[in-house]
Amino acid sequence: MSSFLLALHRANGVDVRLNAALTKLDDHPNDANRIRATFGDGSTLDADFAVAGIGLTPHTALAEAAGVKVEDGIVVDHFGATDDPRIFACGDVANHPSAWLKRRVRLESWANAQNQAIAAAKALLGTFEPYTDIPWFWSDQYDVNLQILGDIPADAELAVRGDLAAKRATLFHLEDGAIRGVIAINTPRELKLARKWMNQGLTIDLATLTDASTALA
């Protein structure tokens, strides 16, 4: 999948340089409006601006000041409640128990931010419906709709349906016949079906998944 996305961005004119350590970021010697980046191999790149894409840390100062438990984010339960029942948290900043992953996790995706917020808001209003969504991420990149559902265990069995080179494929990751994770490239319908099966705990025949001549139902 990494190779696929790398090729996609390069095909769309993006100059991706891997293992390129930035050693210097200076003002451009001849142009006050530009900057010059120097890499470990001595090569340089002139640019209008630089973006530091170096990850994020949750902003938990307010929660800490309020005395609620913080451990890689604000620690909440299935309803978004902290250890102070009057204080709730959700989204990127919340470390919650994931029913699907069977461990605590802090997810950084808009679907998590939206749906966990719905569960938290309901709980605040007295309707306690636990947040049990399977982790889901999606992004539109050029002509590719990319969706990732569940998790991808290292030893999972891979079943590919469709044709990745043609930018239309679903990668199912199975454990004991059950789908643990799905990566969908321009196949939103198949991802929707997979979500249903995963929520139902169905085991699916590998041959059925990979036979693209028969529609999944």
Ligand X SMILES: Cc1cc2nc3c(=O)[nH]c(=O)nc-3n(C[C@H](O)[C@H](O)[C@H](O)COP(=O)(O)OP(=O)(O)OC[C@H]3O[C@@H](n4cnc5c(N)ncnc54)[C@H](O)[C@@H]3O)c2cc1C
Residues that bind ligand X (CB under 6 A): 59, 62, 91-93, 108-111, 113, 137-139
Task: Considering the complex, state which of residue 53 and residue 126 has its C-beta at the smaller distance from ligand X.
Answer: 53
- Write down the least CB distance from residue 31 to ligand X, Å: 27
Which tokens sit at 6?
């790398």
- Return the residue nearest ligand X (CB atom): 91
Which residues are CB-contacts of 158 (< 8 A; sequence separation ≥ 6)?
171, 172, 173, 174
Residue 66 and residue 87: Cα distance in Å, rounded? 9
Which tokens sit at 90?
């959700």
Task: Considering the complex, state which of residue 109 and residue 186 has its C-beta at the smaller distance from ligand X.
Answer: 109
- Write down the least CB distance from residue 154 to ligand X, Å: 23
- Could you give the dihedral angle defined by the CA atoms of residues 203, 207, 213 and 215, in that order, rounded to the nearest 10 degrees? 0
- Write down the least CB distance from residue 80 to ligand X, Å: 11
Which tokens sit at 19?
């293992």
Q: Residue 164 gets which letter from DSSP? A: G
Q: Residue 89 gets which letter from DSSP? A: -
- Write down the least CB distance from residue 137 to ligand X, Å: 5
- Write down the least CB distance from residue 109 to ligand X, Å: 4
Task: Considering the complex, state which of residue 76 and residue 174 has its C-beta at the smaller distance from ligand X.
Answer: 76
Which tokens sit at 199?
């929520």
Task: Considering the complex, state which of residue 93 and residue 204 has its C-beta at the smaller distance from ligand X.
Answer: 93
Say whether 148 sits in a helix, a strand or coil: strand
Element (H, E) at 111: helix 110-124
Task: Considering the complex, state which of residue 92 and residue 175 has its C-beta at the smaller distance from ligand X.
Answer: 92
